[in-house]
Amino acid sequence: MNKSLEILKAIYKPYRYTIKGKTTILETTNGDFIIKPKNKDMNELYNYLTNRGFMNFPKIIDASRDEVNVFEYVEDIKLPKEQKCDDLIELIASLHNKTSYFKEVSSDKFKTIYEDIKSNINYLNSYYNTLYEIGFNENYQSPSNYLFLRNYYKLDASLKYAEKELDEWYSLVTSENKIRVALVHNNLELNHLLDNKLISWDNYIIDTPVIDIVKLYKKEWNNIEFSEILSRYMYKFPLLDYEKKLLFILITLPPESKKSNNEFERCQNVSNLIDYVFKTEELIRPYNTHDEEEK
């Protein structure tokens, strides 16, 4: 990477360069460029996307080097976050529509998904039960532990819901021999949409499109009103019953509470965790109500 960077600096002759993590920005008199480590063949990806009629990605300037790719620099356009999220979800629905297909799978595929999620649920159950026991056995409860104990019932309910829905999901897919897959960006957040172009494709995979919505929700749940976003996505790209159920299971699983040595920060972290649980329940309630009415 360092050797390639020095060669590219000699070629492009930047008057300024900035290193941000693994990314380097070159500012030159002939334009600005982004240098990123080469994890995957971006030319192969971009050729596929172009063939499918999806063009919302930054251009590759140079992909001939072994270690790095050189991309055009995309300038961000300031938009209200709600409008930017609307644009992002439109692009993701378009990406999934243009790249989705049904892939034959064995029953082991669904069994593996089931067991992985079940394992995660069991881990979270154990993790939060341990925190509950620690807080409950304190002689003088800290504010953060008191807040946690007061709301533990919501965490417990969300994990029980996820476990019940997972069993129902598995019953739905046991007779399936195909699964719908699409090209999944796998790294969605508002900051990865610049001038209507999706950046940071390094983690792309071919898998269930649900992954993109889960990643976006986990990243932005506290920044945007997600109900309209989800509704818009499912109008543009209707989810199958087992996909919708999988989506709700995955977003229901609460994150681990962030650790801190500062009591004020611990209170904030617990508050954010509880907010996540309440907000997620509110998001999926209308869909559950609709399903119950149909039954």
> In the chain, what's the furthest Cα-to-Cα distance?
67
Residue type at 246 in one-letter notation:
L
- Among candidate residues 73, 105, 127, the one where a domain is terminated: 73
- Same domain assignment for residues 121 and 56: no
- Among candidate residues 41, 73, 105, the one where a domain is terminated: 73
- Same domain assignment for residues 250 and 132: yes
- Same domain assignment for residues 54 and 147: no
pLDDT at res. 253: 96
Residue 217 resides in a domain: yes
Two tokens, residue 193: 């949409």
3-class secondary-structure state, position 93: helix
Report the CATH number at residue 39: 3.30.200.20
Q: Domain range holding 18?
A: 2-73
Residue 90 resides in a domain: no
pLDDT at res. 97: 98
- Same domain assignment for residues 143 and 243: yes
- Same domain assignment for residues 126 and 183: yes
- Same domain assignment for residues 106 and 52: no
Q: Are 201 and 45 in contact (CB under 8 A)?
A: yes
Residue 82 resides in a domain: no
- Same domain assignment for residues 118 and 197: yes
Segments in the chain below pLDDT 50:
none
The Cα–Cα gap between 163 and 254 comes to: 13
Residue 87 resides in a domain: no
Residue 289 resides in a domain: yes
- Contacts for 22 with CB less than 8 Å, ≥ 6 apart: 1, 36, 37
Residue 33 resides in a domain: yes
Whole-angstrom CA distances from 108 to 166, 176, 215 are: 16, 11, 24
Identify which of 211, 262, 199, 154 has the alpha carbon closest to the alpha carbon of residue 34.
199
- Same domain assignment for residues 161 and 290: yes
Q: Are 105 and 178 in contact (CB under 8 A)?
A: yes
Two tokens, residue 157: 């309910």
- Same domain assignment for residues 290 and 224: yes
30 secondary structure, DSSP code: T
- Same domain assignment for residues 48 and 124: no
- Same domain assignment for residues 46 and 131: no
Residue 81 resides in a domain: no
- Among candidate residues 40, 73, 106, the one where a domain is terminated: 73
**How many structural domains are present in the chain?**
2
Q: For the chain, what is the radius of gyration of the CA atoms?
A: 22
pLDDT at res. 37: 87
- Same domain assignment for residues 161 and 281: yes
254 secondary structure, DSSP code: P
Two tokens, residue 159: 């994990």
Q: What is the pTM of this model?
A: 0.91
pLDDT at res. 289: 64
The tens digit of pLDDT for each residue in 28-58 reads: 888 899 998 888 788 899 999 999 999 999 9
Residue 88 resides in a domain: no
Identify which of 181, 249, 198, 165 has the alpha carbon closest to the alpha carbon of residue 92.
198
pLDDT at res. 29: 87
